[in-house]
Amino acid sequence: MSGPGAEPVVAPTPLVPLPARLAVLLSGRGSNFESLADACARGEVPARVVAVVSDRRDAPGLSRAEERGLATHVLVPKELGGREAQEARLARLLEEARVDVVCLAGYMRILGPGFVARFPLRILNIHPSLLPSFPGKEAQAQAVTHGVRVSGVTVHVVDAGMDSGPILAQEAVTVADGDDAASLSARILPVEHRLYPQALRRFLEGGWRLSGRRLVFPPES
Ligand code: GRF
């Protein structure tokens, strides 16, 4: 990533040969995986999902992927001798599947710096708050507890920190007085499902520039 004062990184146009080969990593329900896979299938995102990977055997998202006839993989760190070994397996799997871009979709682990360095500016994540507010777990509950009037959704590039990489897209969602974590999550989720495919499309189209932490897109044609 380009640091302050460093030359900006300029992405090629398109970022990778299209349709891009996409991997989705998940740990649970998989509704964001579904929104990405459906947008790809409808031709709204120039990509196809070539691998779906879960770190949990019981993730409902896995059966949603199987129903779509997609290749699924389970890599549980505990079963593989810990995080580093699991990430080494994951990196090998992604390289063998010639994955261009990785989308985290409710993947409940922080990826280690070694793994992230193998896919520089090629891993995206969606987070249910307006980062840098409320990173980490239970972002919606954090927002309600803090009493903010506005929270939202962020799609960002993954770096070695927690929910800390350059921001691709954000959209605000109002927090109502009567909200609890569940009601706020229910209003945030449809925004996630709309924003992630849109942000991924612009990311894949390339031509953007990363200047410090600022990702600058070319004007939309
Ligand atoms: C979403 O709220 C996402 O923003 C967060 O984890 C949740 C995953 O939901 N990172 P799903 O598995 O995509 O339905």
- Look up the pTM and report it: 0.96
Lowest mean pLDDT, pick from 22-31, 82-91, 211-220: 211-220
Q: Please give the C-alpha separations between residue 126 and each of 8, 78, 110, 211, in angstroms, as whole numbers.
A: 24, 25, 13, 21
Residues assigned a catalytic role: 127
For the segment 90-129, what is each residue's pLDDT rounded down to a tens digit?
Answer: 999 999 999 999 999 999 999 999 999 999 999 999 999 9
DSSP assignment letter at 67: H
Our answer on whether the CB atom of 30 is closer than 6 Å to any ligand 1 atom is: yes
Based on DSSP, count helices (H) and strands (E) in the chain, helices before strands: 6, 10
For the segment 144-195, what is each residue's pLDDT rounded down to a tens digit?
Answer: 999 999 999 999 999 999 999 999 999 999 999 999 999 999 999 999 999 9
Residues 6 or more apart whose CB falls under 8 angstroms from that of 107 comprise: 25, 26, 27, 55, 125
**For the CA of 33, the nearest atom of ligand 1:** 13
pLDDT level of residue 6 (50, 70, 90 thresholds) = confident
**For the CA of 185, the nearest atom of ligand 1:** 2
